[in-house]
């Protein structure tokens, strides 16, 4: 028989199954008032200002990616710029998301940075759809190269994001140590 006590709905709402993970404030509800005066919850990420941040960041990130794709030629038929964009983007996203998870930062600033720079800017900058297309095109004549390109991009992106997270944590520790010593 299960000896775990039954939790009320209110108690269940406060139990966090993964307390070691940061809470994502973008999905927490913000109260809004309807025209009839009724208060209801709306996810923060659906606020018009936050949607605009994502759109503006996405436009800048996409524009930068397209510019780089036009400026950097393929190397031996391999779209190295797409690989570089995705790896650099993964590194920057890891760095950004670890940085904005710092509880010492202002929550509104963190949310805006995550939405504008992360979801918008780096979401528009990185391009896994181009990775898939480029892999398919390479696969028609050089399937081994296509597999290496796709697998290498994913592995390099994973390692880059871990590197970004690690760098952000090291920078936070350095800043914390500096504050602790009064520097």
Name, in order, each residue with C-beta under 8 angstroms of 59's C-beta and a sequence gap of 6 or more. 120, 124
Alpha carbon 62 to its chain's center: 15
Residue 62 in marked binding region: no
Dmax over CA atoms of the chain, in Å, equals 67
3-state secondary structure 121-154: HHHHHCCHHHHHHHHHHHHCCCHHHHHHHHHHHH
Would the annotation count 126 as a binding residue? yes
- Point out which residues pair with 32 in neighbouring strands: 40
Residues in the chain: 183
Provide the 10 A C-beta neighbour count for residue 151. 11
Task: Write out the two tokens for 101.
Answer: 């998870």
Contact (CB, 8 A) for 44 and 26:
yes
Say if CB 173 and CB 104 are below 8 A apart.
no
Strand 39-43 relative to strand 29-33: parallel, antiparallel, unpaired? antiparallel
| Residues of the binding site for Na(+) | 123, 126
| Residues of the binding site | 123, 126
């Amino acid at each position: 028989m299960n000896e775990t006590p039954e939790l009320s709905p209110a108690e269940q709402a406060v139990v966090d199954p993964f307390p070691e993970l940061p809470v994502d404030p973008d999905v927490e509800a913000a109260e809004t008032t309807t025209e009839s005066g009724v208060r209801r919850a709306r996810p923060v990420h659906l606020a018009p200002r936050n949607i605009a941040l994502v759109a503006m960041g996405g436009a800048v990130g996409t524009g930068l990616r397209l510019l780089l794709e036009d400026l950097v030629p393929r190397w031996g038929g391999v779209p190295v710029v797409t690989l570089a964009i995705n790896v650099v983007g993964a590194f920057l996203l890891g760095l950004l998301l670890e940085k904005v998870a710092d509880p010492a930062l202002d929550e509104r600033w963190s949310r805006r940075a995550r939405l504008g720079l992360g979801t918008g800017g780096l979401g528009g900058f990185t391009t896994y759809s181009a990775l898939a297309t480029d892999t398919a095109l390479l696969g028609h004549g050089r399937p081994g190269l296509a597999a290496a390109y796709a697998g290498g991009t994913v592995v390099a992106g994973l390692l880059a994001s871990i590197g970004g997270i690690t760098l952000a944590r090291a920078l936070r520790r350095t800043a914390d140590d500096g504050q602790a010593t009064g520097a």
